[in-house]
Amino acid sequence: MYKEFWTISGNQEKRGAGGFIRFFFAVLVYNGMAVALHAQSAPQLTIHWDKTTVVSVSTPTLQVVVNPPLRPGESLSAPSYKALQELGADYVRYVPWLPYPKLAVAELDPPTPQKTSWDFSLIDPMTKDFLAATEGHPRVVNFSTIPAWLFKTDKPVSYPADPNKVVWDYTQGTELRDPTGKELGDYFGRLVSWYVNGGFTDENGARHDSGYHYKLPVWEILNEPEFEHSTTAEQYTARYDAIVEGIRRVSPETKFMGMALAMPRDNPHYFEYFLNPANHKPGIPLDYISGSTPFSIRQTDSSPRSALSKLFASVSRPRPSRISMSWA
C-alpha cells in the first residue's frame, strides 16, 4: 500500500492513495493554468537587423600566464607563441606569477653589502618570446609577484630550487618591511629598466646590462591583491603609488592598469578607496582598471555601460580610459 504524508500550502494531506491522487490532480491543474498564462503573456521578439543601436568598443584579448610548458624547448612553447603571433590580439596580458618564484621574481634574496641576487636567466627567455609574439600590438605586462623578502615575516620565505616546481605559500606576510614603499618601487623600477633601458644599477652601485630596449606601453600593478598578502584597499593604493613612482622614473611613457581584482563585485570598497584622488599621492595616474571576473550588472540597468557609469558617478577622479575584464 502507498503510504506518505503530502504537504500542500502548509496543510498535511490525508495518508494513503487518495491523498496522493488529490495532490497529483492539483499539480496537473496548477501546471495547466501556468501553461495557459504563459502562452497568453509570452512576449513577441522582433529583431531589426538593419538598424544599429550600439557599437561595441570592447577589445577581445587573452592572458599569457607563465608556466613551465611555455619555457623554451618544451613541446607547447613554440606552437603557443606562434599561435599568439598569428592571432594578432591587442592588450594581451603577460603575467609571471607566484607558483613559480624562479620564473617570476628577479631578486629572490635580499641584498647585502657584499652582493645582490638579481638574476633574469630563467625569466628572460619566456618574456622575450612573449614580447616578440606581440610586437606591433599594445600589450600589458604584469610581474605580479613581489619578492617575499620585502615583507615582514617570522622567518625567511623559502622557494624551490627547481624552477618548475609549484609552490603556493610564497606570498607570505601582509606588511612591507619598508613602510614608505620606496624599496618596493625601486625593485619594480630596476625590473622595468632591465627591459626598457638596457639595464640598471643595483642597490650596491653595480651595473647590470641587458641590452634590451623594449617598449612597455601598459604595466598592470600586481594581480588579485585581495588574495595575495591579504592586501587591503588602503595597502594596495599605497603600493600602487610606490610602484608607479618607481617605474615612471625609468619609463615615463608607460601607462598603468590598477586593481586587477579577483572578485571585483565583492569588493566595492576597493573601488571607492582606490578611485578617490585624495587617497593617492599627487600626480599619480590611473589609465586603466582591471579585474578577473565580470562586474554584477543588475537587471534594472539598461546596459553594461550605464551600470559602469553608476560605478564611477560619485568619483571625481578622471575616469580610466579602459576597463579590462577577464572571464575565467
Query: Where is pLDDT greater, at 69 or 294?
Result: 69
Q: How confident is the model at residue 316 (pLDDT cuts 50, 70, 90)?
A: very low
Cell of 153: 615575516
Under the banding of pLDDT at 50, 70 and 90, the label for residue 294 is low
Q: How confident is the model over 298-306, as a mean pLDDT? A: 45
138-150: average pLDDT? 97
Helical H runs in 151-214? 182-196
User: 238 pLDDT band (50/70/90 cuts)?
Assistant: very high
pLDDT of residue 166 exceeding 50, the answer is yes
DSSP letter string over 133-162?
HTTTS-EEE---PPPGGGB--SSPPP--SS
pTM here is 0.78
Number of neighbouring beta carbons within 10 Å of residue 49: 5
Angle between helices 77-87 and 124-133 (to 10 degrees): 30
Q: Tell me what pLDDT residue 308 has.
A: 53
Report how far residue 230's alpha carbon sits from residue 232's, in angstroms, rounded to the nearest whole number. Answer: 6
pLDDT higher than threshold 60 for residue 266 = yes
C-alpha 269/C-alpha 285 separation (Å) is 20
- Report residue 318 as a C-alpha cell: 578622471
Q: What separation in angstroms does the CA of 29 have from each of 11, 37, 39, 42?
A: 18, 12, 16, 20
Q: Where are the domains of the chain?
A: 7-41, 63-325
Residue with cell 607570505: 172
- Say which CATH topology domain 63-325 has: TIM Barrel (3.20.20)
State how far the Cα of 292 lies from the Cα of 324, in Å rounded to an integer: 9
pLDDT in tens, 205-223: 999 999 999 999 999 999 9
Q: Give the residue, 53 or 244, on which the prediction is more confident.
A: 244
**pLDDT of amino acid 263:** 87
